[in-house]
Chain A
Amino acid sequence: MNWESTLEFARGPFFQVALLVFIAGMTYRLVAVLALGWKADKVKSKGSKVNGIAMSFAKGILIWPFIPWVKNTFTRNPITYLAGGLFHLGLFVVIFLGAAHVLVWKSLLGFAWFSLPQPIVDWLAAGAIVAMIALFINRLVNPVLKLLTGPAEWLNWLVVFLPMVSGYAMTHHVIPEYDTLFAIHMLTVDVLLIWIPLSRISHFMFYFFSKAIHGSDFGKRAVTP
């Protein structure tokens, strides 16, 4: 198997299968959790749950990186905040607004949207990679993270890191064999897609639930979440 045919495989059938596994797996995860059943909340609200939820998301998505200063916890673990924030920002920008990925969305969804100028995407991608390395080191030195980190966390880190570096290496032609890097990038992406439903990387889906729970709990009590 040479790189050309590897690429064809990774961009073609393997990608298709990986994406389907991803879709089925995530649906499974979601349904399996939700179908455990919710208990109705019979407590009389003081404030508005909806406002609480809105606030919780607004804070989480729009100003999350700035909240820690308010909380006084920023200085205690700045790496997690900064690197975590930068990583997610970079990741989302690259995946959703990088021209190359917009074309992927277009071919998947049949429509697409604008893309950001290359240098912005590129610097954010580099930032995300640096952030990943910082997070890696942080997991080695922070006592709490040492306790919380097991093989699963390292694996997750690796599975996310590989497509990022291979993608970056590819756009920067670090070796002339573009198809080699492209193939590696696609292979790692495929592995990532399959790995997500099996791991904590799926947190992005449950994020919407946990944030909503948090928001509604605080909103119900008329406290800003």
Chain B
Amino acid sequence: MKSQTVINTFVEKTGAYVAAQLEACTRCGMCAEACHFYQSSGNPEFAPVWKIELLRRAYEQRFTPVGKFKVAFKLDKPVTDEDIAHWSFIDYQACTMCNKCSMVCPMGINLGPLIHTVREGLSDAQAVPADLKAAVNKQEEIGSPLGVTDDVFDSRIEWVADEWEIEMPMDVKGADTLVVFSSIEIMKFPNNLAAIAKILNAAGEKWTLSKKGREVVNFGFYEGNDKLTKEFMNRVFSAAKELGVKKIVVTECGHAYDALRWTSANLMDVPEIEITHIAGLLGEYVKSGRIKLKPGALDGNGTITFHDACKIQRRGSHIQEPRDILNILAPKSFREMTPNKEESICCSGGGGVIAIKEADPIRYASFELKIDQVNKVGAKTVAMACSNCRLQFTDCVQHFNLDWKVAGLSQLVADALVE
């Protein structure tokens, strides 16, 4: 009985944190208006609050007298396996865990984390979309969802070092900083690797890569699988410990940053190592003058705008740094989209959604909101600090035949370095 497993997990995970928020919800439906999946599809089942309906029902039926009464008098339907399949669909394929919904909830309910709890239940019951599960398994077995095995990693890094003629320190004991790429960058945006290496070298950072901790992406976290989430994070942490670094830099990946920086300590024992995101680091370098940028380097190529990633900006606070940088690089042509910063609209590809083939139609439909936003400012270039967003953007640019240039922030910085 999948439904039983899911409910049991919910029961197990429901503490005061979850209960207080479930109790506070007034079912006002406001959160739906924030969710890009609902906005683009009009499907009321994509309302954020509906995504946690199972959790609410489990809580009500198992923990509250009113719920027990309802069950006893058959006023409430029990949760069935069909329900589980259905919610697996709406929670995995129509939610990027972007948490925008919690920004508009009048009760301030943190829906993102609650939806994560729902995913935990679904994961326990093995009600995970096949594509996503396959990627998780791949990461478990070979260390990366995109097939970056040890060998692939070695050859890719070597190739990048050769191609861009850049030094890529590997497994350097005693380095200050461990840099962990995401396999999306390794496989799809190798220029990002080169760019980051170039910046770090220019800043005189004592940094290193690690073969063991080579993958920052955490598909266990997407799935809501605590055990694997911990295992994947542990690979990074133990590499960091072995190398004795003081700092871990998460490169352009949002979900990984959320997991590593903001979640890990509550799941496991973590070493006393600072964890930061490359966007934050870039801002620091520019501010302190460790790197110098050519002012106005990007001006004259049409309007440039910045896409705020849910996990790096709204959930990661690196809101100001990219703007500082873009104001140097493109003081004349940088324009903001609305809404932006912590209220930005999600790219629709995060949270594992882009890994699920089945979810393509809703993912594309939802991206249209982004197209609107970008077109409204008339941007020709869209910059971002998340390679998952970037993957979604490049895919959609192709799908919709758009003429935008999609750029990673690090790449823009690297290109404008004054050497």
Task: List residues of chain A with CB under 8 Å of any chain B CB.
Answer: 29, 32-39, 41-44, 46-47, 56, 60, 64, 68, 70-73, 76-77, 80-81, 84, 142-149, 151, 153, 198-200, 202-203, 206-207, 209-211, 213-215, 217-218, 220-225
In the complex, chain B residues whose CB is within 8 Å of the CB of A43: 261-266
Further pairs besides A71-B104, A214-B105, A223-B313: 20, Cβ < 8 Å: A32-B64, A33-B23, A36-B16, A39-B15, A39-B266, A41-B266, A43-B262, A70-B343, A76-B33, A80-B28, A199-B66, A202-B23, A206-B21, A207-B108, A209-B21, A210-B20, A210-B109, A210-B110, A213-B20, A213-B21
Given A209-B20, A222-B317, A146 contacting B44 (CB threshold 8 A): yes
Query: Is A207's CB under 8 angstroms from B107's CB?
Result: yes
Of the candidates A68, A143, A198, the one having the most CB atoms from chain B within 10 angstroms of its own CB is A143
Q: Taking the complex as formed, is B30 at the interface, i.e. its CB lies under 8 A from any CB of chain A?
A: yes
Q: In chain B between 309 and 361, which residues have their CB closer than 8 angstroms to a CB of chain A?
A: 313-317, 319, 338-339, 342-343
In the complex, chain B residues whose CB is within 8 Å of the CB of A209: 16, 20-21, 24
Write the nearest CB–CB distance from B300 to chain A, whole angstroms: 31
Our pick among A56, A81, A149, A223 for the contact of B342 (Cβ within 8 Å) is: A223
In the complex, chain A residues whose CB is within 8 Å of the CB of B110: 210, 213-214, 217
Q: Taking the complex as formed, is B14 at the interface, i.e. its CB lies under 8 A from any CB of chain A?
A: yes
In the complex, chain B residues whose CB is within 8 Å of the CB of A34: 16, 20
Write the nearest CB–CB distance from B113 to chain A, whole angstroms: 8
Q: Taking the complex as formed, is B201 at the interface, i.e. its CB lies under 8 A from any CB of chain A?
A: no
Query: Is B342's CB under 8 angstroms from A224's CB?
Result: yes
Given A71-B104, A214-B110, A44 contacting B265 (CB threshold 8 A): yes
In the complex, chain B residues whose CB is within 8 Å of the CB of A80: 28-30
Interface SS of chain B: helix
Interface SS of chain A: helix
In the complex, chain A residues whose CB is within 8 Å of the CB of B266: 39, 41-43
Q: Taking the complex as formed, is B106 at the interface, i.e. its CB lies under 8 A from any CB of chain A?
A: yes
Query: Is B339's CB under 8 angstroms from A206's CB?
Result: no
Q: Taking the complex as formed, is B172 at the interface, i.e. its CB lies under 8 A from any CB of chain A?
A: no
Query: Is A47's CB under 8 angstroms from B317's CB?
Result: yes
Write the nearest CB–CB distance from B33 to chain A, whole angstroms: 4
Binds A, one of B34-42, B208-216, B227-235: B34-42
In the complex, chain B residues whose CB is within 8 Å of the CB of A210: 20-21, 24-25, 107-110
